[in-house]
Amino acid sequence: MPPAEPSVLSAASSPTPGQSAGAPALRLRHCTKRYGDLTVIDGLDLDVPTGQRLAVIGPSGSGKTTLLRVIMTLDKLDSGTIEVFGDPMGYRRVGDGIVPDPRTVRRARARIGMVFQQFNLFPHMSALANIMEAPVRVLGRPKEQAREEALELLATVGLTDKANAYPRELSGGQQQRVAIARALAPHPEIMLFDEVTSALDPELVGEVLRVVRALARDSRMTMLIVTHEMNFARDVSDRVIFMERGRIVEDASPETLFTNPASERTRSFLRAIIDR
């Protein structure tokens, strides 16, 4: 895969009103997040061009999950800014400075979707109902249309026959695939995958990775994938960042980072993973 070139890829983004020309899908500047004394994200800068498949790897506690969580607005940054397709998230530009503005959060959030490590399916709704919930209740789509689209999404993840099954009747891999379909239903432009196979029994991992691979191949979404599955990260991504202690230690193409990493810390992390 060719190395990432921000300005070239962003020109091919889907036209959206209010989007500044050439703005990347995500722009993080000086982002810091603390939990008590612990700094989990430390002055992080990151540009993610539209349509990029970005893999995020690193040891636990490196801040990779928190990175996704602040983008998804599940946690608030202590300082720093995030722009989604050029639009500020959580604040408003006033003159030279910024002022908090909660309304911008919902607008940004509407363009981002997330798949969780623990699936988080709604247990009291069938698979189909889970997928239809956001399109019908949040986006106001008519039920019949939402149902048809939901069935198509179920077909994409290979679970047409489980439309009326409830989460407790599904295996972990099946639940996660439904969760992916559910996240796709509102047609987000950015998809976040937070260690989506880490909670699965080994034999169920493959079916989920297959779905994510297909998404990477067939869609134009910008994808951020936090994962421990190195081979998968290598196959699916255009760009990899290695995080440690809240900072990006290395940022390169998969070929470079996995075969000939520049940093010694990346090297020792990869050695530890592969030697398992």
Partner 1 sequence: MSAFDLLPALLRGAQLTVVLAVAAGALAIAVSFIAGLARLSPVRPVRMAVAVYVEVFRGTSALVQVFYFFFVLPLIGIQLPAFAAGVIALGLNFGAYGSEIVRAAILNVDRGQREAAIALNMPPALTMRRIILPQALAAMLPSFGNLVIDLLKATSLLSLITLSEMTFAGKMLVQGQGRVTEVYVLVLLIYFIIAVALGRVFKLAEQRVVAGLHLGPRR
Q: Are 9 and 23 in contact (CB under 8 A)?
A: no
Which of the ranges 14-22, 69-77, 245-253, 264-272 carries the binding residues for partner 1, by CB under 8 A?
69-77
DSSP strand pairing (222-226 vs 190-194):
parallel
The residue among 67, 88, 6 whose CA lies nearest residue 225 is: 67
Tell me how many residues contact partner 1 (CB under 8 A): 29
Nearer to partner 1, 137 or 220 (CB): 137
Asked if 110 touches partner 1 (CB under 8 A), the answer is yes
As measured in angstroms, the least distance from the Cβ of 114 to partner 1 is: 4
Please state, in angstroms and rounded to a whole number, the distance separating the CA atoms of residues 4 and 9.
8
Look up residue 228 and give its DSSP letter: S
Site for partner 1 contains 124 (CB under 8 A): yes
201 binds partner 1 (CB under 8 A): no
Shortest distance (Å) from residue 259 CB to partner 1? 35
Min CB(95)–partner 1 separation in Å: 29
Rounded distance between C-alpha atoms, residue 9 and residue 228, angstroms? 26
Taking Cα atoms as reference points, which of 174, 188, 249 lies closest to residue 223?
188
Question: What are the structure tokens assigned to 207, written together?
Answer: 């079916």
Decide: is 118 part of the binding site for partner 1 (CB under 8 A). Answer: yes
Footprint of partner 1 (CB under 8 A): 72-74, 106, 109-110, 112-114, 116, 118-124, 133-134, 137-138, 166-169, 179, 182-183, 186
